[in-house]
Structure 1
Amino acid sequence: MKIFFSFLLCLSINHFSFAQVRSLAEGENPGKGALENLDWLVGYWLGTGFGGECEEVWMPAVDGHMIGTFRFWENGKLVFSEFMNLVQDGESVTMKLKHFSPDLEGWEEKEEWTVFKLIELGDEKVWFDGMTIERKGEQLIYHLNVSDGADTKTEILNFSKKAH
């Protein structure tokens, strides 16, 4: 019986983690939300994810844009960085980002972005298509669906807010 409950608990935890991330159905309109309601992201965040260390900085919104940067390093070596732009897009919010190698070579084509469309915006939690961000006190938690083409897995990034 203990083995059954242990198995059920593991299954529930895996399902819970995957259920943290939502997806828009084909042709489904993005959710409604205002960029100013994401001001809880502003600040300098340091944490872990992808098997290494991460840091992220979000600046306050100006003119319908909230800009952020992210960098990931492993064993003291920079692996990649991102330039992120949360944009007020009519009645919705969209996150657009570009990835860069350590030598600033872009991963996306010049005119392309990786785009996350809004599904729902809560008090200190936001669901984008393929990514969820939640603030719990001075902690910021990302659940991000990552696909290699065949399989999709959920990566969890855990950040703590740091003083400037």
Structure 2
Amino acid sequence: MKKSLLSSLLFLIYFIAFSQVKQLEKNQEAGKGNVSELDWLEGFWVGTGFGGECEEVWMPAVDGNMIGTFRFWSEGKLIFSEFMNIVQEGETFSLKLKHFNPDLSPWEEKEEWTTFRLVETAENTVYFHGLTMKREADEIRLWLALTENGERTIEELKYVKKEF
């Protein structure tokens, strides 16, 4: 009985986590939206994820670009940071980012970005292909689909809005 209950609980947790992240089908057009709809994302956010501590800062959109930064550290040591840009592209937008090691050496090549295409927006929520950001009051939760060695997992990050 306990094993059956535990299996059911694990399946439910797995289903809830995976249902938070949406994917575009192959050759499916990106969703429609405007960067200006993401003003709820602006601010300084502090929280946890990847087994350590995280911070994100999002500035107001200017000229169809919403710029953000991210840093992750564990046990007091910076592990990596990101430069992010949510870019208006016609009737849609995408999140483009670059990762950097603590010495600022990039993970991606000079002309390459990690790009998340828009699936859809909802109230205080944006669904990118493989990434969801959702705000509830002064908290934001992110769900990121990761694939390593052919195995897909969902990483959840939880943030609280802070003042600088």
TM-score normalised by length of structure 1: 0.96
Which secondary structure state, in structure 1, belongs to the residue aligned with residue 11 of structure 2?
Answer: helix
Number of paired residues?
164
The superposition leaves residues 65-112 of structure 1 with CA deviations (integer Å, 9 ceiling, x where unpaired) of 000000000100000000000011110110000000000000000000
Corresponding residue for residue 27 of structure 2: 27
**Structure 2 runs not aligned, ≥5 long:** none
Distance 2:146 2:2 in 1: 33
1:44 aligns with 2:52: no
Q: CA deviation at 1:2?
A: 5.7
Q: Give the counterpart letter for 2:18 in structure 1.
A: F
Which residue identity is paired with 1:16? I
Distance in 2, Cα, partners of 1:69 & 1:24? 25
Aligned to 1:75: 75
State the match for 2:132 in structure 1.
132
Using the alignment, how far apart are the partners of 2:69 and 2:27 within structure 1? Answer: 30
Matches within 5 A, 1:87-106: 87-106=87-106
In structure 1, the partner of 2:56 is 56
- Output the amino acid matched with 2:81: S
Q: What SS is found at the alignment partner of 2:60?
A: coil
Give the CA deviation at 1:123: 1.1
Report how far residue 22 of structure 1 moved: 1.0
Q: Which residue of 2 aligns with 1:146?
A: 146
Q: Share of identical aligned residues, percent?
A: 52
Distance 1:149 1:28, change over 3 A: farther
Divergent runs of 4+, >4 A: none
Q: CA RMSD in A?
A: 1.1
Question: Partners of 2:14 and 2:91 in 1: how far apart?
Answer: 34
CA distance in structure 2 between the partners assigned to 1:138 and 1:6 by the alignment: 32
* TM-score normalised per structure 2: 0.96
In structure 1, what is the Cα distance between the partners aligned to 2:39 and 2:5?
Answer: 41
Cα distance in 1, alignment partners of residues 3 and 52 from structure 2: 33
Q: Counterpart of 1:159 in 2: which secondary structure? A: strand
Greater mean deviation of Cα atoms: 143-152 or 100-109 = 143-152
Provide, for residues 31-64 of structure 1, a one-character-per-residue CA deviation record: whole Å limited to 9, x for no partner: 0011111010000000000000000000000011
Structure 1 residues 60-69 or 146-155, which shifts more?
A: 146-155
